Amino acid sequence: MAGSTHTVTNQAPPLTGYDVFSADRALADAVERHLPPGLHEEALAELSGLGNTCGSRQVQEWGTQADANPPVLRTHDRYGHRVDEVDFHPAWHRLLGKGVAAGLTDAWSRPGGHVRRAAGFVLWTQVEAGNCCPLSMTHAAVPALRADADLAAEWEPRLASRVYDRELRPARLKAGALFGMGMTEKQGGSDVRANTTSARPLAEEGTYELRGHKWFCSAPMSDGFLVLAQAPGGLTCFLVPRVLADGTRNVFLIQRLKDKLGNRSNASAEVEFAGTWARRVGEEGRGVPAVIGMVAATRLDCVLGSAGLMRQAVAQAVHHCAHREAFGGRLADKPLMRNVLADLAVESEAATVLGLRLAAACDAAEGGDERERALLRLAVPAAKYWVTKRCAPVVVEAAECLGGNGYVEESGLPRLVRESPLNSVWEGAGNVQALDVLRALGREPAALDAYLTEVGAARGADHRLDAAIRTVLTELADLEAAEGRARLLAERLALVLQGALLVRHAPPEVADAFCASRLGGDGGAVFGTLPPTLDLASVVERARPMA
């Protein structure tokens, strides 16, 4: 129309209608690398299908709707009866149903299950991270429940089910079940041994009555919860069913839902136990050992979730800059923007490669490989510390690549920004992880041996990596009074492990950029400061989600 003032030009098309898995070369390569050849065809087809689901316009819209419509607590029904229910937007249920159907609650029942699930978790996080919380906890509950063979036999099939059943009724009547957990209390936080919730034994062997509170209870709409409480024999792990076997509601008083910075689609609650029926998991006084497997699994999911958030942010930034023109050419072709994009892409790939390597170690450990089990003991807290802390600066810088558009809710980047600090806080914040690294080094020599064997496989391939390994060995030679430098030690352990994996498995241009900037000191304190002599164009092209 003549004189129109609203002709839209120079805007990137929506990043939709594509296979999120196949477009992520780092992730697809890692899956192929860590799965036996006999599983490749089936796993790649499955993940490609999930990737197309993640990339669909409809599913992306569900993610937006779920985030924009947080859950609502209903403590009572219209007649005044206490119900303690949480109402969710329909988009939440659709997403959770697809996540369950994709097998994201189960890595334990199939060959290569941890690698396959890890890749799926990275993909699904990019759609909407909030619903990944109950998926993660349901998956992670399995090793804790295995402390009691009867409980494991009863609950594992329900948790591994690919049927999402949202109704609150006895678990024995359901085709599938979800799990939450309540560990922390307001007086203790991560110091769970300071918990005051009490557990009084009942007449039936292994059953108790709980009284107390939980400051954070994740996914309070779940069918069962793992909680810690003080039994006569000390801090003990318990299973609290939401609905009892006879169909009556257990005493599970939801006091309020947390109003969170991000992760808004997911309900996190404060709950009270007042004569709540519970069943013991493991032995009295062995609560922390009973839940340690669950904590390790959820910590790995924090790494994978952060890798997913980084990947989506980088994909959006590269996609935008590949289509946006300024100053006579595409933004992605401008040397300075290319440097920023390449730097972000390197960080994203390093996180993905490390997360999938740890998932492969879980598969091997399940098969009885003790070296891989020992590697996890040190590498998981180090990775959880470092990768989750790198997530926020990556996402914020990626949003800046879109300019003012990245600050507008419609772009989706603000939601990623709000979500980006979460995994660093959940399941033990940075100091907790760094101190756990020190504990592993001090108490479990096999963990350090496994780590050194892993990074040693790359020695001689890059002089900067070799120098970084020597620096770590020097740091490890003196662990006296190490608490004050625990963060630096955890960072260096993670960086060296990432560097070793990239040198062995990534394209040379990616490994070169990582080693130069993260290990060799040839980069600055912010993204976009890579040495310009590197092959940055190839790094950016590898990270591009669509041609």
CA 358 to chain centre: 12
CB 56 within 8 A of CB 17: yes
Q: What is the pLDDT of residue 188?
A: 79
Query: How do strand 72-76 and strand 234-241 relate by DSSP bridges?
Result: unpaired
Residue 521, judged by CB atoms within 10 A of its CB (0-12, 13-18, 19+), counts as exposed
Please tell me the predicted confidence (pLDDT) of residue 342: 98
**Quick one: pLDDT at residue 193?**
83
Long-range contacts of 529-532 (CB under 8 A, 24+ apart): 529/339, 529/343, 530/339, 530/342, 530/343, 530/346, 532/335, 532/339
Overall pTM surpassing 0.95 (yes/no):
yes
Give, in words, the CATH class of 289-543: mainly alpha
Residues 199 and 212: their CA atoms lie apart, in Å, by: 9
Return d(Cα 250, Cα 253) in angstroms, integer.
9
H-run or E-run covering 295: helix 287-323
According to DSSP, residue 112 is labeled: T
Domain definitions of the chain by residue range:
40-285, 289-543
C-alpha span between 411 and 28 (Å, rounded): 26
Residues of the chain with pLDDT under 50: none
pLDDT at 4: 77
289-543: same fold as 40-285? no
Q: What is the pLDDT of residue 189?
A: 78
Task: Determine the pLDDT at residue 413.
Answer: 98
CA-CA-CA-CA dihedral for 140, 145, 146, 150, to nearest 10: -150
Beta strand 179-182 with 224-231 is: parallel
CATH number of 40-285: 2.40.110.20
Over 319-377, what HEC string results?
Answer: HHHHHCEECCEEHHHCHHHHHHHHHHHHHHHHHHHHHHHHHHHHHHHHCCCHHHHHHHH
Q: How many C-beta atoms lie closer than 10 Å to residue 53's C-beta?
A: 19
Burial of residue 473 (CB within 10 Å: 0-12, 13-18, 19+) is: exposed
**Of all residues in the chain, what percent are helix, strand and coil, respectively (each to 5)?**
55, 15, 30
| Residue-level pLDDT at 3 | 62
- Of the CA atoms within 13 Å of residue 488, those in its CB half-sphere come to 9
Q: What are 3's two structure tokens? A: 């004189």
